[in-house]
Amino acid sequence: MPKVLISDDLSPAAVAIFKARGVDVDVKTGLKKDELLKIIGDYDGLAVRSATKADKDVIAAAANLKVIGRAGIGVDNIDIPAATAKGVVVMNTPFGNAITTAEHAIALLFAAARQIGAADVSTQAGKWEKNRFNGVELYAKTLGVVGCGNIGSLVAERALGLKMKVIAYDPFLSPERAMEIGVEKVEFEDILKRSDFITMHTPLTEKTKNLFSAEALAKTKKGVIIVNAARGGLVDESALRAALESGHVAAAAFDVFAVEPAKENVLFGAPNFTATPHLGASTTEAQENVALQVAEQMSDYLVTGAVTNALNMPSITAEEAPKLKPFAALAEKLGQFAGQIADDGLEAVEIEYEGEVAALNVKPLTAAALAGLLRPMLQDVNMVSAPAILKERGVALTESKRQTSPTYDSLVRIKAKTGGSWRTLAGAVIAGQPKIVEVKSMALEAAFAPVMLYVNNSDKPGFIGALGTMLGEAKINIATFNLGRVAAGEDAIALVGVDQVVPDDILAKLKALPQVRYVKVLRF
- Which positions are catalytic? 231, 260, 278
* Sign of the alpha-carbon dihedral angle for 210, 216, 217, 221: negative
Q: CA 203 → CA 8, 94, 168, 380, distances in Å? A: 22, 12, 15, 31
Containing 6, the helix (H) or strand (E) segment is strand 3-6
Q: Are 282 and 64 in contact (CB under 8 A)?
A: no
Backbone angles phi, psi at 195, to 5 degrees: -80, 135
CA distance 152 to 145: 7
Judge whether 416 and 373 are in contact, CB under 8 Å: yes
Q: Residues 6 or more apart from 97 whose CB is under 8 A from it?
A: 72, 73, 280, 281, 283, 286, 287, 289, 290
Partners of 227 in the β-ladder: 199, 253
Beta-carbon count within 10 A of 237 CB: 24
What are phi and psi for residue 103, nearest 5 degrees?
-65, -40
Task: Single out the residue of 469, 467, 444, 453 nearest to residue 519, CA to CA.
Answer: 453
Please give the torsion angle defined by the CA atoms of residues 80, 285, 170 and 162, in that order, rounded to the nearest 10 degrees: -170
Backbone angles phi, psi at 413, to 5 degrees: -120, 135
Per the CB < 8 A criterion, the answer to whether 63 and 39 are in contact is no
